[in-house]
């Protein structure tokens, strides 16, 4: 990370805000060759590093602010903050086509939904069902434009005071294009729970699911304490072109796959503990810190009786592809993408490949790794970086200035790169 980027991150991470102004205004497959065996790659709280700083502490005032129900648009100001987002009767708030939401510095968005409804949503006879407490939570659907413009001194907070979180933010391909490309700068994005196990994409992948055929810009952001149930714990850049994720912190995010219908001996295809780049091209992931993110999989319908599941690996007897893996990043069909000057520290994947990064379906020079630091990451198979199903000459470029230190697979020293891709240093 260069000096200016590093200083910018420090300013964001050390900001402590107290706002005193109150205004009233996947599928399963039999366990055959290719399934990762017993090793678990460590536990979520293992590792001897631990968080240095999880980002700014921003309190949500208990009183005052502005209530939002069905629509988010126009300009949100600090004077009208906190914005208490309830959603409509279906728990949805929409940024409509043809409109732009602009979020100014210091704004708090509390996606609280209806906590009393969420608390009461419990299956009869199953107080620990994995699908309890879903009703009453709010989802943001983006069909128009969104510009989140915090500053180092006054970041924007997107959070939820509902103890069971919120459903996150979703884009919908061409239906979300036409009102300006999305920008997220100097923000904290947290407490999303996309845990509709065996559900649809909008409630299972990426706390911020940016299915957007254009550039998405994310700079000086903090993604923390988010969870998805299929892939991409915090962020999924799907079909994007020229997206940039820079000088940001991803900490404590999870992809935690629970298959309620899986049989014994089956496996998971979950991937990307923190982030995915899916079917995209020309993306840049630069100068970020990825710390204590993780990928895990289970089967079962109640939290008191979950059983760990391995991830299906490549190659496998069924010739199944589009697989999972990657304690931090998961790339599917990358194309001229760059991962540069990032730190990957204390991330994990249990019973699966790619302690930090998993790559699949690779063309020529599909992805370049340059100047990254991989420290104390843990997996159950493969290496720190796993690259499979290469289809070009040299599919993966791993520059000599990448640093790999104390990474493990099942408690043993991890290879830096594994898989069937052809690699080169330049």
Please give the backbone phi and psi of residue 304, each rounded to the nearest 5 degrees, phi first: -80, -5
The per-residue pLDDT for 53 is 62
Q: 67-76, long-range: CB within 8 Å, 24+ apart, which pairs? A: 68/93, 69/93, 70/94, 71/95, 71/96, 72/101, 72/140, 73/99, 73/100, 73/101, 73/144, 74/99, 74/101, 74/102, 75/102, 75/103, 75/104, 76/101, 76/102, 76/103, 76/104, 76/107, 76/109
Angle at 372 between CA 288 and CA 374, to 5 degrees: 95
Separation CA 398–CA 340 (nearest Å): 10
- The alpha carbon of 181 is separated from its chain's Cα centroid by a whole number of angstroms, namely 20
Mean pLDDT, residues 20-31: 32
Assess contact for 241 and 334: CB atoms under 8 A: no
Q: Would you state the structure tokens that stand for residue 20, as one six-digit string?
A: 């005193």
Sketch the domain layout of the chain as residue ranges. Answer: 3-17+147-153+180-424
Residue range 330-350, pLDDT digits in tens: 999 999 999 999 999 999 999
Give the Cβ contact number of residue 49 at 10 Å.
12
Cβ neighbours, 10 Å, residue 397: 16
- Counting residues of the chain whose pLDDT is more than 70, the rounded percentage is 88
Span of 59-68, 163-172, 176-185, 207-216 with lowest mean pLDDT = 59-68
Q: What is the pTM of this model?
A: 0.88
Residue pLDDT, tens place only, 373-419: 999 999 999 999 999 999 888 999 999 999 999 999 999 999 999 99
- What do you get for the CA distance between the two ends of the chain, in Å? 20
Measure the CA–CA gap between 154 and 158, rounded to whole angstroms. Answer: 13
* Interval 202-229 mean pLDDT: 97
Count of Cβ atoms closer than 10 Å to residue 356 Cβ: 34
The residues near 62 (Cβ < 8 Å, ≥ 6 apart) are none
Extract the tokens encoding 218: 């994310």
Burial of 412: CB neighbours in 10 Å, binned 0-12, 13-18, 19+:
exposed
Average pLDDT of the residues of the chain: 89
3 contacts: CB under 8 Å, gap ≥ 6: none
293 close to 44: Cβ distance less than 8 angstroms = no
Strands of 86-136 (E only): list them.
Answer: 92-95, 100-103, 108-110
Give Cα separations from 83 to 86, 144, 356 (angstroms).
9, 19, 36
Give the C-alpha distances (Å, rounded to integers) separating 333 from 235, 360, 363: 17, 6, 8
Residue-wise pLDDT for 73-82, tens only, equals 999 999 999 9
Which of 275-314 are b and which e, b meaning 16 or more Cβ less than 10 Å from the residue's Cβ? bbbbbbbebebbbbbbbbbbbbbbbbbbeeebeebbbbbb
* Angstrom distance (rounded) from CA 231 to CA 236: 8
| Residue 75 to residue 87: CA distance in whole angstroms | 18
Which residues, other chains included, contact 166 with Cβ-Cβ below 8 Å and sequence gap of 6+?
A: 111, 112, 113, 137, 138, 139, 160, 191, 192, 193
Higher pLDDT, 6 or 283: 283
Whether the pLDDT of residue 7 is over 50: the answer is no
């Amino acid at each position: 990370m260069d000096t200016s980027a590093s200083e910018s991150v420090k300013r964001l991470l050390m900001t402590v805000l107290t706002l005193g102004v109150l205004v009233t205004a996947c599928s399963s497959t039999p366990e055959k060759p290719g399934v990762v065996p017993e090793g678990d790659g460590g536990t979520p709280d293992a590792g001897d590093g631990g968080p240095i700083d999880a980002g700014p502490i921003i309190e949500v005032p208990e009183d005052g602010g502005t209530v939002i129900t069905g629509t988010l648009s126009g300009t949100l100001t600090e004077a009208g903050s906190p914005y208490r987002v309830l959603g409509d009767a279906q728990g949805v708030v929409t940024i409509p086509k043809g409109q732009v939401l602009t979020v100014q510095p210091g704004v708090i968005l509390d996606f609280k939904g209806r906590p009393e409804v969420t608390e009461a949503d419990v299956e009869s006879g199953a107080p620990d069902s994995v699908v309890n407490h879903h009703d009453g939570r709010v989802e943001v659907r983006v069909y128009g434009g969104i510009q989140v413009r915090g500053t180092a001194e006054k970041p924007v907070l997107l959070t939820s005071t509902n103890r069971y979180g919120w459903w996150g933010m979703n884009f919908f391909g061409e239906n979300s294009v036409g009102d300006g490309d999305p920008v997220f700068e100097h923000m904290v994005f947290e407490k999303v729970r996309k845990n509709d196990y065996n559900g649809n994409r909008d409630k299972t992948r990426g706390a911020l699911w940016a299915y957007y055929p254009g550039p998405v810009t994310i700079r000086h952001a903090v993604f923390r304490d988010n969870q998805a149930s299929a892939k991409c714990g915090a962020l999924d850049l799907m079909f994007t072109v020229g997206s940039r994720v820079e000088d940001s912190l991803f900490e404590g995010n999870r992809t935690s796959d629970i298959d309620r219908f899986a049989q014994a001996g089956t496996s998971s295809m979950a991937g990307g503990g923190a982030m995915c780049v899916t079917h995209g091209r020309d993306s840049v992931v630069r100068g970020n810190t990825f710390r204590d993110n993780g990928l895990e999989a289970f089967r079962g319908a109640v939290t008191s009786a979950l059983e760990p599941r391995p991830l299906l690996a490549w190659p496998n007897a069924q010739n199944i592809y589009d697989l999972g893996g990657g304690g931090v990043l998961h790339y599917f069909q990358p194309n001229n993408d760059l991962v540069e000057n990032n730190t990957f520290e204390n991330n994990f994947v249990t019973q699966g490949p790619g302690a930090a990064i998993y790559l699949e379906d690779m063309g020529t020079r599909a992805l370049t790794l340059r100047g990254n630091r991989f420290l104390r990451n843990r997996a159950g198979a493969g290496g720190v970086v796993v690259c499979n199903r290469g289809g070009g000459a040299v599919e993966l470029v791993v520059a000599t200035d990448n640093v790999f230190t104390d990474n493990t697979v099942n408690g043993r020293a991890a290879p830096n790169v594994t898989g069937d891709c052809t690699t080169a240093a330049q």
